[in-house]
Amino acid sequence: MSVKLTFVSPADGGRISRSCSFAGFSTAHSQKLAKSLGKSSSRSKMSVKSAKMYSSLQKGAVIWDPKPDQVKKVFEALKKGLNEYLEMHQAELDYLSGCHKDTRRNSRLAFYYDLDKAHRGNAEHASILPVEELYEAYSIQCRLRDGASNMKHAFSLSPSTKASRESLVELYKNLQECTEDMCLIEGTLEVHLGEFHLKMKGLVGYARLCPGDQYEVFVRLGRQKWKLKGKIETDDSQTWDEEEKVFIPNLHEKFEIKVTELRGLSTLLVGMVKCDSIDFFITRPQTIIVDVTELGTIKLQLEVLWKPSSA
Number of H helices, E strands in the chain: 6, 11
- Interatomic CA distance for residues 246 and 229, integer angstroms: 17
- Interatomic CA distance for residues 208 and 175, integer angstroms: 55
- Look up the pTM and report it: 0.71
Could you tell me whether strands 255-263 and 266-275 are parallel, antiparallel, or unpaired per DSSP bridges? antiparallel
Predicted pLDDT at 23: 35
Enumerate residues 6+ apart whose C-beta is below 8 A from 258: 217, 218, 219, 220, 269, 271, 272
| SS3 state at 156 | helix
- Interatomic CA distance for residues 287 and 272, integer angstroms: 19
Alpha helices in the chain (DSSP H): 27-44, 49-52, 68-99, 108-124, 128-157, 162-190
Provide the residue-wise pLDDT of the chain in tens; the chain has 311 residues. Answer: 434 444 454 433 333 233 333 333 344 444 444 454 444 444 444 344 444 433 334 444 445 788 999 999 999 999 999 988 888 777 766 666 666 655 555 555 565 666 666 555 555 555 688 899 999 999 999 999 999 999 888 888 888 888 888 888 898 999 999 999 999 999 999 999 999 999 999 999 877 899 999 999 999 999 999 999 999 999 989 999 999 999 999 999 999 999 999 998 899 999 999 999 998 999 889 999 999 988 888 999 999 999 988 64
Q: What does residue 281 show for φ and ψ, rounded to 5 degrees? A: -80, 70
Predicted pLDDT at 166: 87
Enumerate residues 6+ apart whose C-beta is below 8 A from 234: 211, 212
- CATH code reported for the domain at 2-21+193-307: 2.60.40.150
Residue 201 DSSP code: E
- Interatomic CA distance for residues 233 and 73, integer angstroms: 42
Predicted pLDDT at 245: 96
Burial grade of 19 (CB within 10 A; 0-12, 13-18, 19 or more)? exposed
Domain ranges of the chain: 2-21+193-307
